[in-house]
A and B are shown apart, each in its own frame.
Chain A
Amino acid sequence: DQQVKQNSPSLSVQEGRISILNCDYTNSMFDYFLWYKKYPAEGPTFLISISSIKDKNEDGRFTVFLNKSAKHLSLHIVPSQPGDSAVYFCAASESGSNYKLTFGKGTLLTVNP
């Protein structure tokens, strides 16, 4: 049973426009959420996170929104740049889970110049 779902395998946007990547989860015990970015031939790198006590966290061009009632989070990238082209993984964790992160399958974002 997949607890973290990224239903869009890929997304293509134009440079300068907004990219919105979505993630749904089923485990109501998750209380910490993260987004990772992965370029080919490299390991994932941490991008941004949000605790369940918040509904929004912003870091430069990246904003994560959390809707707990819908068990949904999204990553907004504004404006999108060609260098943002990568696979984005959503991950979730619950307190007391011994540091376990549960990852989604990832969404390939392509930003076209």
Chain B
Amino acid sequence: EAQVTQNPRYLITVTGKKLTVTCSQNMNHEYMSWYRQDPGLGLRQIYYSMNVEVTDKGDVPEGYKVSRKEKRNFPLILESPSPNQTSLYFCASSFSMGAGEQYFGPGTRLTVT
């Protein structure tokens, strides 16, 4: 089954404790992206990657890091989480077709206290 998986699905952590949210896709997609969804703000892009070792900032990259060492994986790293990073996070992937349909993972609900 073609899918994007994220782990963990739910996470409660404390300020300053480094964490990683994993994202993996099995569709051989070149493009992957991370979004956060906040009430009243819709979906905002954090980082994206056009291929292995190629990443760039989205609209709200502050406080986040990413890496793309393999085509299928695109982890999101919070080196020192803060309460304003409490959010719902989505990973997405697509073929390199400019715009087009992105496949989203099920989401990770992160709470930073």
A-B contact pairs, 27 of them (CB 8 A): A6-B42, A34-B99, A41-B106, A42-B107, A43-B90, A43-B105, A44-B43, A44-B90, A49-B100, A89-B42, A93-B98, A94-B99, A95-B98, A96-B98, A97-B99, A98-B48, A99-B31, A99-B33, A99-B98, A100-B58, A101-B33, A101-B45, A103-B42, A103-B44, A105-B40, A105-B41, A106-B42
How many positions in chain A have a CB within 8 Å of any CB in the partner chain? 27
Which chain A residues have a beta carbon within 8 Å of chain B's beta carbons? 6, 31-32, 34, 36, 41-46, 49, 89, 91, 93-101, 103-106
Q: Which residues of chain A come closer than 8 Å to B102, judged between CB atoms?
A: 46, 101
How many positions in chain B have a CB within 8 Å of any CB in the partner chain? 28
- Max chain B C-beta neighbours (<10 A), residue from A49, A95, A101: A101
Q: Which residues of chain B come closer than 8 Å to A100, judged between CB atoms?
A: 45, 48, 58
Query: Is B101 on the interface with A (CB-CB < 8 A)?
Result: yes
Which chain B residues have a beta carbon within 8 Å of chain A's beta carbons? 4, 31, 33, 35, 40-45, 48, 50, 56, 58, 90, 92, 94, 96, 98-107
